[in-house]
Structures are given as C-alpha cells and as structure tokens.
Chains A and B, each alone.
Chain A
C-alpha cells in the first residue's frame, strides 16, 4: 500500500540556520512527490513537486528537495530559515492513475529568533 512517513512531528531551528525535513514514501512505481506548506489559518500552498528528471528540485521561498530512489526519500531543505517559515509542512505522494494525494502526518516547524 502507498504511504508517506514524516518521522519528525516537531522541529525547532534558529533563524538563519539550515533546515532539513524528512519524508519517506512507500510506492510501487515511480512516485509523484510533493511538498506543501500550511501556515496558521491558511490553505495548503505547494512548495515544489517532483515528477521525473533532475532529482534535485527547486521550489518557492528558497526551498529545495532531493529525490533519492534508493532511500525512498524526498527530503525538503532550506539553507537559511526565516521566521516566516514557521508553519506545518506536508509531504505527499500522488497515486498513479487516480490523481489522488496521500499525505504524510506533517512536520510542525518552529523558528527561534
């Protein structure tokens, strides 16, 4: 069965520090992978997506993610975190043939000034 695991429920970093949010997936074929961010009271916003090609994907707000097939991972990174990045981050995999998303449980990011 398809699934997405985000091992870290909460992460706290200092402003200016680097960030990596982990995402592991279970999927039988080439996955379609997404990272979304949800700020308080806001809908989900797409940060980046991977369908095929270059395994290092650039997104909005300075985020990037790297697809590693051998590790079934799609970790999200940012070299320098800003206070406005505090939010909840969701990794998702697209279910082929149905266009439905399966979401991970989310990682809540706290940024210290």
Chain B
C-alpha cells in the first residue's frame, strides 16, 4: 500500500493569486493523478501527472490554469493559477502502480477563494 500526504490541508486565498499543492507518496508509484471535488459534487479528474514530462489534461482543464509537475516517482505538485471563487474545491491527488491495482488517495486540500 501507499500513504499519500498533501500540503497544505486547507487554504484561503484571494482572487487572482496562485496556490501550489504538494503531493508526497511514501513509496514509488507508477501513476499519479489530480482530481477536483467541487462542493457537493463528485471527483473529476484534472490530469495525469507524468514523471519527467508534461501532464496529460482532461477535457476542460488546461496547463496554463493547472500547471503540474512530477519530478520523480514519489512527488507531484498542482498549481491553481489566477484563482477565482469558482476554483473553491477540494483537490485530491492519487497514486498507484497502474493497471487497475488500487489507487491510493491523499486527504485532499480544501481551497477557498475569496
């Protein structure tokens, strides 16, 4: 199994600023993903974080708004850029070995944009 931690656990930010969320896994994982969970809604995949290359974004999400880095097999960051109140959500990262082995999820980062 893998244990995933995220920093920060929560933040309140001003409109127009950016926030970088860190995701740390306690073991090497092949796949890492970033999800958004808007209030009262389900998880929506933002992107697949690829080690050493550009992330793969889902429809509706773009790199300029959500730049992602993954420098190694245990760490990734998601930046929410030029934030607006509509970006207020919980952001979760997950990791796993690929195939349909279990994905492990971090506890999430609760973001509020004023």
- Residues of A near B100 (CB, < 8 A) are 32, 49, 51, 94, 99
Are B42 and A43 in contact, with the CB atoms below 8 A? no
A46's nearest neighbour on chain B, judged by CB, is B102
Are A49 and B102 in contact, with the CB atoms below 8 A? yes
The contact of A100 among B42, B45, B99, B104, by CB within 8 Å, is B45
- Residues of B near A103 (CB, < 8 A) are 42-44
Residue A90 CB within 8 A of the other chain = yes
Q: What is the interface residue range for chain B against chain A?
A: 20 to 34
- Residues of B near A41 (CB, < 8 A) are 107
- Residues of A near B96 (CB, < 8 A) are 99
- Residues of A near B99 (CB, < 8 A) are 99
Minimum CB–CB distance from B113 to chain A (whole Å) comes to 20
CA distance A85 to B106 in the complex (A): 20
Residue A101 CB within 8 A of the other chain = yes
- Residues of B near A44 (CB, < 8 A) are 43, 92, 94, 105
- Residues of A near B31 (CB, < 8 A) are 99
Instruction: Give A contacts to B, CB under 8 Å.
Output: 32, 36, 41-46, 49, 51, 90, 94, 99-106
Instruction: Give B contacts to A, CB under 8 Å.
Output: 4, 31, 33, 41-45, 48, 92, 94, 96, 98-100, 102-108
